[in-house]
Structure 1
């Protein structure tokens, strides 16, 4: 009797459950097709758009969940990002920061205006309905420290991948978000004799960013300018993208070690011991005997550009503290390949 009662209750429960079936898809009523947005970090907490849609119908009494999805126009939502989600509610207020985070998750390039599509995904369990997409024109941002990519016909010969390959191009870096002063060290193996195999500076790691080439006068840059030419060498590259400055410089930098530890006397501070650049590892290196004492790295056998290690943590600072060494034979490396994050090693031999 207990078994029969249990079966009877279970059958009634199944019969009383509402039937879930997609009947009417939601319709996105806001935003309007083609609305344009420029998202800014100063307004990241400000309302940018209120997404509104009609309820989806999965049957009477069914509570529906919703995701607002966004993806690049033409990608057919292959890898969409979710702006926000609701349960039951048919609107979602999204700040500039929320929309921006979703765009960056799709791989959108910061500060590049592009077309995107947004839609509403309505679902109950595995039952899903989608609204028709609506196009949005959006310029996203990033608060990461800005970089420039130095792209050109010198890359293959210099160890930076294929010529004009953005992904492998050497980079320059600013000090912080909002700064327009960029620097980095770049090796050019062969003379760049014409604009055809010259280089430019790109704001993103693809052809969709702002590209700076030669300006109207020496040492200046301009948006869309011709490729820049240069002679072979290892350079400290500096660029200022401030619209009122727009300048660049290439300073030859041939590195050496200098200090008491290099000779065992104060005379060691007078002349640098040259290091050799390794284009495969992209580091300067030397194997030499050090005496107990201090040393630094400097370029061009002069003090205009020099690095020490304040804090003795293996990270170099411009004009930083002298590096302390114990006596012995060492392989010394100087790694300037990561812009503004310069390091060195001392390995006993």
Structure 2
């Protein structure tokens, strides 16, 4: 018996080793189609817009999946970026019918999550996965269509501004933002104190050293250079920070803020100063107002001033409309410039 067992054991070990090697070399591909998507046709396209989030983004119909018996079938719409072969499919929605409509906002989120670039047409592969409730039943898949999607983003591109003012830590550094997606005219308000740099996000949106960063070109004349050896520098203070990564120009303008207008103690001639609160990152003050109008301005001058949100974009506007006082009384005035290009204020009765 010993003479028989040894060859069998050796064969088993050899076979097991070969099996392990084979498993490592396996290439996983999309399962073969067992039913068809009827509409839309592969190659059809859609341009999504944040103005119409509830409009249909993708309307699908497909054949029944055949399980050989009368049973309820559960269908899941799956998507992935073209060329990824559904290695990490995203489940968008599920149904027990053979049709589904995906709203524009849902399709947009799925498209961006799958890796499509906002405002650029890209291929999104779509398939239907079917299952039934029976224990141990295997999933069946439809054929795959390519749907051409132009997604959007409502997030403004941002840069981090790490430096001596916060411990040179990009993940927690204050941000400056561009005026729109695809633009490179970054702006924001930051308390600076010594050296600082500008750091771009990586593909996943994280800010870390090792990403593209910009410093001063060494002339300290407002010129940036990528991966610059020289830090930009500023004396301790609160600044309007502007940087353009295309023109490679940057400026930092020191600012102190106040409130002005017919509703304020100084009228339209002199600003009533506010005080910067480093904890809340807001400019604050307790001010007696009348039932009239006001605005916010920097440095007791009109060069930089903020009024109401005249274009309904969720931010106070430079040179914007006058702001109506809520009425005569004493108010806690707060100006929040910490969210770049989303500037806001509050007037709270005391």
CA contact 1:283–1:337 (8 Å) conserved in 2: yes
CA shift in 2, pair 1:316/1:257, >3 Å = same
Contact 2:160 2:207 (8 Å CA) reproduced: no
- State the SS of the aligned residue for 2:195: coil
The reply on whether 1:236 has 2:253 as its aligned counterpart is no
Structure 2 residues not aligned, in runs of 5+ = 1-29, 37-42, 50-57
Equivalence for 1:13: none
Whether the 8 Å contact between 2:315 and 2:342 is mirrored in structure 1 is yes
Deviation at 1:200, TM superposition (A): 1.7
* Count of residues paired in the alignment: 295
User: 2: CA distance between counterparts of 1:333 and 1:98?
Assistant: 36
1:97 & 1:185 partners in 2: Cα distance?
A: 28
Contact 1:185–1:234 (CA<8 Å) still a contact in 2?
A: no
Q: Does 1:165 align with 2:171?
A: yes
Give 3-state SS (helix, strand or coil) of 1:289's partner.
strand
Distance 1:150 1:248 in 2: 13
Answering whether residue 86 of structure 2 is matched by residue 82 of structure 1, we say: no
Unaligned runs of 5+ in 1: 1-24, 31-36
Q: CA deviation at 1:305?
A: 0.8
Query: Cα offset for 1:289?
Result: 3.5
What's the TM-score once normalised by structure 2's chain length? Answer: 0.57
Q: So what's the TM-score if we normalise by structure 1? A: 0.57
Report the alpha carbon displacement of residue 284 of structure 1 after superposing the two structures with TM: 0.5
Q: Distance in 1 between matches of 2:201 and 2:111?
A: 21
Task: Say if 2:162 is the partner of 1:153.
Answer: yes
The reply on whether 1:316 has 2:316 as its aligned counterpart is yes
Given that residues 110 and 139 in structure 1 are in contact (C-alpha distance below 8 angstroms), is that contact kept between their aligned partners in structure 2?
no
Distance 1:26 1:299, change over 3 A: same
Q: Report matched runs for 1:92-171 at 5 Å.
A: 101-104=109-112, 106=113, 108=115, 110=117, 121-126=129-134, 128-130=137-139, 142-154=151-163, 157=166, 163-165=169-171, 169-171=174-176
Asked whether the equivalents of residues 79 and 90 of structure 2 are also in contact (C-alpha less than 8 Å), the reply is yes
